[in-house]
Amino acid sequence: MTWHSLTDPPDWAAPYTRACQNIHTFPVLIGEAGGHDGMLSSPILLYDYPDIAPESPGDLHDATEIDEILSLRTLTLTEAEKREARATDPRAAAIVDRVEGMPQEVLARLHGAVRSLRPHQTRSGTLEGGRDGSAGRRRTPET
């Protein structure tokens, strides 16, 4: 089976992808960048070919780039909630322990990083964004 990107489809597929509605799930391409043999139906918004951010200190919550928010949320648990989480299974216990022992500088690094100051290049143009409400609008070389 061959999958195509919903965010950067081939020209022939663009009308079909625009007609798609994502209800509680967001399909993204996975595997080697440029490959079309894997698709993940993600419960959170991700870009195609997601990977673990280099800032991540390792396998935390769900191995995505939302480690910061989940780590902060874990730190807000009461001691009773932490005990309950640890008792559910060894992986949950390891996550709570790892987050509690995380140095401030590691937690600060999870906040994010600028990967590029250039607009994202797509197959059929550039995705542009701005204060004029054009965020995510596809611009082709003709427009």
pLDDT in tens, 47-66: 898 877 777 666 676 655 67
pLDDT in tens, 22-55: 888 999 999 998 899 999 998 888 889 887 777 7
Domain locations in the chain as residue ranges: 1-51, 52-113
Tokens read off for 140 = 């082709």
pTM of the model: 0.51
Q: What is the pLDDT of residue 139?
A: 43
Contact 33, 19 (CB under 8 A): no
Residue 97 to residue 91: CA distance in whole angstroms: 10
Residue 18 to residue 139: CA distance in whole angstroms: 15
